Structure 1
Amino acid sequence: MDIRPAATTAELIAAEHLYDGPARKEWAERFLAAPGHLMLIAYVDGRPAGMVSGIEMLHPDKGSEMCLYELSVDERHRRQGIGRALILALLAVARERGCYDMWVGVDTDNDPALATYRSAGAKDDGVFTMLTWELPNS
């Protein structure tokens, strides 16, 4: 397995089977151009087998923190340590960037995700509620 940051739209689009839906070239371009956004892709036999995306966020009184935005491992490659390796690789990037922590939001009934995050050293912060505003696409 080889983990490396996505640097081109072609790499992001080649990994679209790991996303919730199809990749769009214009969104891939914006992703790569956005400061603080990154995606690490795990390759097995030269093909994308997993990915983790992160967003470095800054605040005037806190400094920099990393949000683990999304983690995905192709079904045929699950339970082989790829998810954990991707999380640890994102943690290493967060440390390199001087982040004071890294966090992820996860559904409380998503046992596989919770187990993966905990295996990489994450601790439960307690009860968390996420509220969402849906915005129409214009």
Structure 2
Amino acid sequence: MSMTAGITIRQLSADDGLQMEALLTVFGVAFDDVDSYSSARPQAAYLQHLLASDYFIALVASEGSHVIGGLAAYELIKFEQQRSEVYIYDLAVAAAHRRRGIATALIRELQRIGRQRGAYVIFVQADAPDEAAIALYSKLGVREDVLHFDIPVRSS
């Protein structure tokens, strides 16, 4: 757990389903995609299993008891070397709390966790129009221009 200007950053555990639900709400509003993050929410047992796993990392930024941001990441165990990398799947801070260093603090905490786990890198994708995310990630890491493809698991 870390603190930054009255904000607490901490990793969620299996018993933190309510905070994970609050984080899903923050993601839905921040990404203007409430339907995806609210319409078919996982059941409590599913969230408990996910939060207890050794591959999923959820961090929340809280002001008092109110979740104002967070990130969801996955540790990917590599096969070519005995190491892992961490993928930030989602990262958001509520609009009223942006520009306070919270996203940076979340990533710094993830770096600490990654070091503890023996990860060698954290990677994240950003959409080209999201200039704020690109500026943040450029400040913290090296930009690579890649293409992203979604391949459906169902055959057409």
Query: How far 1:100 moved relative to its partner?
Result: 0.9
Residue among 59, 80, 89 paired with 1:69: 89
Count of residues in correspondence between the two structures? 134
TM-score, normalised to structure 2, is 0.78
1:46 aligns with 2:73: no
Q: Percent identical across equivalent pairs?
A: 24
What RMSD, in angstroms, separates the aligned Cα atoms of the two structures? 1.7
Query: How far 1:4 moved relative to its partner?
Result: 0.6
1:28 aligns with 2:36: no
Distance 1:103 1:112 in 2: 17
Query: How far 1:118 moved relative to its partner?
Result: 2.4
Q: Secondary structure at the match of 2:120?
A: coil
**Matched residue, 1:11:** 19
1:130 aligns with 2:148: yes
Query: How far 1:103 moved relative to its partner?
Result: 0.5
Q: Secondary structure at the match of 2:119?
A: coil
Distance 1:68 1:14 in 2: 18
Q: Structure 2 unaligned segments of length 5 or more: list them.
A: 1-6, 29-36
Q: Structure 1 unaligned segments of length 5 or more: list them.
A: none
| Correspondence 1:75-90 to 2 at 5 A | 75-90=95-110
Residue among 61, 75, 95 paired with 1:56: 75
Query: How far 1:68 moved relative to its partner?
Result: 1.1
Distance 1:112 1:55 in 2: 23
TM-score, normalised to structure 1, is 0.87
Query: How far 1:35 moved relative to its partner?
Result: 2.5
